[in-house]
Amino acid sequence: MSPVPFASAQCLAKPSISSGQQNENIMLDLEGRTHQRLSRPFVELFRAAHHMLTACNQPTAEEQSLRYRSLILDCKHALNELQDDSDRDMASLVDQALKVWHFIEIVYVRDRTQSEDHISVDLAEWFAGSFPEQLPTTDGLSDSASLSDSELWDFIAKCVVTGNLPTAHQIALSRMKINGESGSKWGDNSVDLNANQLDAGLSTQSLFAHFDSLLAMIPSNTVHARRDRSWSRWQSLCRTWATSEELALEDNARRVFLILSGDSNAIADICATWEEMLIACSVYLPDESGIENSLHSGLQTVMTASAEASIMKDAPKGGAGLALAEASMGNCLNAVTAMEISLPSMWFSAHLGELLVRIGQMPDRKPDTELNGPPFGTKEGLFIKFAEELEQYPGLWRLAADYYMACPTLGDGRLAGLLTRIKADEASGMMAEKVLHLCYKRKLSKTARRIQLKLGSHCLEFNNLGGAISWYSAAGALREAQKVVDLALQAAEREGPDSNGALLLSNVVNAINKFANEEIRQAFDYLDVYKDMQDQLNALAGITAQQQKDQLPREALGGAIFPAIESFSNATNSLLVGGRLPRRYWCVVVFEAVRVLEEFPEARQFFARSTLLNLINAVELCTGPHRCGALVQGLRNRLKWEKSAGVMDVSELSDGTHFESLEDTVSYCRRVLSEVVARTINQL
């Protein structure tokens, strides 16, 4: 069998899966596994990610993470569109995975050398997209004039704490407009940092105007601003204003200025959740870690913010929230572990873990092949767990195989186990060749042989003897091949020439000639002769039918009859000489020879003396008083089949002999053969 590429693009483009929808027929299935339902969005996620994993040109870690995150988002949207409640519940879990993935991408994977922004800018955007329910809404501010200053400052504080300073500034401007004051344009940054401006305007300006002036001085939230200390100087100014006498009695307003200065207690007063506290701390806590604009420079910022947030608020203790908390503290391994426990599939932790190992943010332990399972935390351990998950779903075995192949230490052993559990259906020829090609590619010769034996057994279940002998021959399995040959011979001798049984035998012969090794060919070389014997019987039957149709005398067909009889005689003699044909099949051969000799007496001269003597010996062995019952079982089966098929009602032959029992048949064979041999020898 010619090798077939294992994971071609064409194969991947036409998946065969088992889901609630009608899909293509499954070519291969897995034995001994519980087949679970898998929603189509997850199938698409798995296949798309697999295509990325096996692509020749691998993108950077950041590009790969972005693509994975896009796939997760598509999966979430697709699950939400399904009608099943369980799918929508699953969408909620996928959304949690998306939040954690995006956070880890920002903190660990993203190349911060490509951006001047401080990491808190990205984290604030992440929080706004991941937790929109925690953001303040402006619905109640349509009539801000009806709100007291204290209520307005509280709202400004909610905006400030999540880094949404533009909205906070806009609210302050709206109140200043009511007060008849003019303010600065957001992002102008034209006012110099000067504490003296505080003293000059405190007595004449409102606190909202002071807030506007303060925001007009704010430097861009960049790594450069942290490096040259302009950000810390601005925060010092905020602290000075927050401690002024004018703000001493204005608790709500003072709290806003304290938040801007980085006061963790003020931040904790406003933040409702640990996640919100984390973002606020990353923006406003004094940051000494971001002064170097290098790859992953924001990690220490996040760890400092996480430590402070965990003091002020209870960090998540379970689920994807725990993964988020662990990641914020620099514990990537624990974060991946939490994702594995809380999410519906190992896909998320496996691919995220692989990315973190790839960029050196998670240790890649060397697996211990002596253990029953790989140690968690390695790329191999994660991929193997995900591959084991894939094995639960029919049609996804090829994906599982590729994930095993990505594990150089433990993968081959797991791959061998997967391949030996594959069960092929009747139409699985091409797919099976792909499996075997994979075995040969990975030098899993023993696994390939086990698969071939399994495929052969499966073909036997469907009476596909040609397919069975093909796989057994390819495996060099002589004992199993003998079983197939016996079934083919039994069918052929039971049903005779020009029958389904004869066709089965022909398929077996052709398969052996095409696929078998020299040992198997020599062991069953008599099958070609047996097939030739049946072909000559078919030829004689055709000649007789043509004679009766055209009403021609037998002598007119002698030119066609005699060569067929001579070939039949040679085949019969070859089968009975030297024990080439097992003796348990001799009786039917003798039976066929007797029929030919009886029906075509004029052709007896073409039976050589040696052939007749061999027939006498064979009939004596098969039908004599010391015969073994197994030697005549084939003849018994033949008579039963002919009667059931209506070939003859009472097994009547040309001399008018009627026989219902096997003994009558045996006696008939002995008598006719003796008479034929005697006459033939006398003629010779």
User: Where does the pLDDT of residue 6 fall: very low under 50, low under 70, confident under 90, or very high at 90 and above?
Assistant: very low
Q: Is the confidence at residue 139, as pLDDT, over 80?
A: no
Place of tokens 């193997």: 384
Residue 200: per-residue pLDDT: 47
As a whole-number percent, the residues of the chain with pLDDT over 90 amount to 25
Q: Is the confidence at residue 404, as pLDDT, over 70?
A: yes
Nearest to residue 79, comparing CAs of 41, 110, 43? Answer: 41
Q: Which of 6-10, 244-248, 288-292, 497-501 has the highest mean pLDDT?
A: 497-501
Cα 264–chain centre separation = 49
| Residue, of 638 and 570, whose pLDDT is higher | 570
Residue 193: per-residue pLDDT: 47
Q: Is the confidence at residue 312, as pLDDT, over 90?
A: yes
Residue 249: per-residue pLDDT: 76
For 478-521, the DSSP string reads HHHHHHHHHHHHHHHHHH-SSSHHHHHHHHHHHHHHHH--HHHH
| Residue, of 427 and 12, whose pLDDT is higher | 427
Say if residues 611 and 566 touch (Cβ distance below 8 Å). no
User: Where does the pLDDT of residue 383 fall: very low under 50, low under 70, confident under 90, or very high at 90 and above?
Assistant: very high
Instruction: State how far the Cα of 399 lies from the Cα of 386, in Å rounded to an integer.
Output: 10
- Domain positions in the chain: 422-516, 525-535+547-648+656-683
| Residue, of 145 and 111, whose pLDDT is higher | 111
Place of tokens 């300006």: 205
Q: Which of 68-77, 583-592, 607-616, 649-658 has the highest mean pLDDT?
A: 68-77
Instruction: State how far the Cα of 43 lies from the Cα of 38, in Å rounded to an integer.
Output: 7
Name which of 227-236, 339-348, 615-624 the model is least confident about.
Answer: 615-624
Residue 429: per-residue pLDDT: 61
Instruction: State how far the Cα of 278 lies from the Cα of 273, in Å rounded to an integer.
Output: 9
| Residue, of 547 and 470, whose pLDDT is higher | 470
Query: Using one digit for the tens of pLDDT, what is the confidence trace for 238-259?
Result: 998 888 887 777 888 899 999 9
Cα 354–chain centre separation = 18
Q: Is the confidence at residue 323, as pLDDT, over 90?
A: yes
User: Where does the pLDDT of residue 649 fall: very low under 50, low under 70, confident under 90, or very high at 90 and above?
Assistant: very low
User: Where does the pLDDT of residue 204 fall: very low under 50, low under 70, confident under 90, or very high at 90 and above?
Assistant: low
Q: Which of 260-274, 408-422, 462-476 has the highest mean pLDDT?
A: 260-274
121-132 burial, b at 16+ Cβ within 10 Å, e below that, comes to bbbbebbeebee
| Residue, of 62 and 37, whose pLDDT is higher | 62
Q: Is the confidence at residue 476, as pLDDT, over 70?
A: yes
Q: Is the confidence at residue 145, as pLDDT, over 80?
A: no
Q: Is the confidence at residue 268, as pLDDT, over 70?
A: yes
Say if residues 397 and 418 touch (Cβ distance below 8 Å). yes
Q: Which of 91-105, 139-153, 590-604 has the highest mean pLDDT?
A: 91-105
Q: Is the confidence at residue 273, as pLDDT, over 50?
A: yes
Name which of 2-11, 384-393, 658-667 the model is least confident about.
Answer: 2-11
| Residue, of 596 and 296, whose pLDDT is higher | 596
Residue 108: per-residue pLDDT: 93
User: Where does the pLDDT of residue 578 fall: very low under 50, low under 70, confident under 90, or very high at 90 and above?
Assistant: low
| Residue, of 648 and 521, whose pLDDT is higher | 521
82: helix, coil or strand? coil
Query: Using one digit for the tens of pLDDT, what is the confidence trace for 365-375?
Result: 766 544 444 44
Residue 284: per-residue pLDDT: 93
Q: Is the confidence at residue 56, as pLDDT, over 60?
A: yes
User: Where does the pLDDT of residue 302 fall: very low under 50, low under 70, confident under 90, or very high at 90 and above?
Assistant: very high
Say if residues 53 and 67 touch (Cβ distance below 8 Å). no
Mean residue pLDDT across the chain: 78
| Token pair in block for residue 547 | 């004679």
Q: In sequence order, what are the beta bridge partners of 30?
A: 422
Residue 102: per-residue pLDDT: 96
Residue 437: per-residue pLDDT: 79
| Token pair in block for residue 646 | 């209506």
Q: Is the confidence at residue 446, as pLDDT, over 50?
A: yes
| Half-sphere exposure for 456 (CA within 13 Å, toward CB) | 27
| Token pair in block for residue 642 | 């002919």
Q: Is the confidence at residue 628, as pLDDT, over 70?
A: no
Dihedral sign of CA atoms 394, 337, 93, 317 in order:
positive
Reported pTM? 0.68
| Residue, of 624 and 135, whose pLDDT is higher | 135
Residue 189: per-residue pLDDT: 52
Work out the average pLDDT over 286-294.
Answer: 56
Say if residues 205 and 172 touch (Cβ distance below 8 Å). no
Query: Using one digit for the tens of pLDDT, what is the confidence trace for 158-198?
Result: 999 988 888 888 888 888 888 777 766 655 554 454 555 55
Work out the average pLDDT over 342-351.
Answer: 91
User: Where does the pLDDT of residue 96 fall: very low under 50, low under 70, confident under 90, or very high at 90 and above?
Assistant: very high
Q: Is the confidence at residue 210, as pLDDT, over 60?
A: yes
Residue 3: per-residue pLDDT: 27
Work out the average pLDDT over 264-293.
Answer: 84
Residue 30: per-residue pLDDT: 41
User: Where does the pLDDT of residue 123 fall: very low under 50, low under 70, confident under 90, or very high at 90 and above?
Assistant: very high
Instruction: State how far the Cα of 253 lies from the Cα of 157, in Å rounded to an integer.
Output: 8
Instruction: State how far the Cα of 223 lies from the Cα of 261, in Å rounded to an integer.
Output: 18
Name which of 117-126, 432-441, 500-509 the model is least confident about.
Answer: 432-441
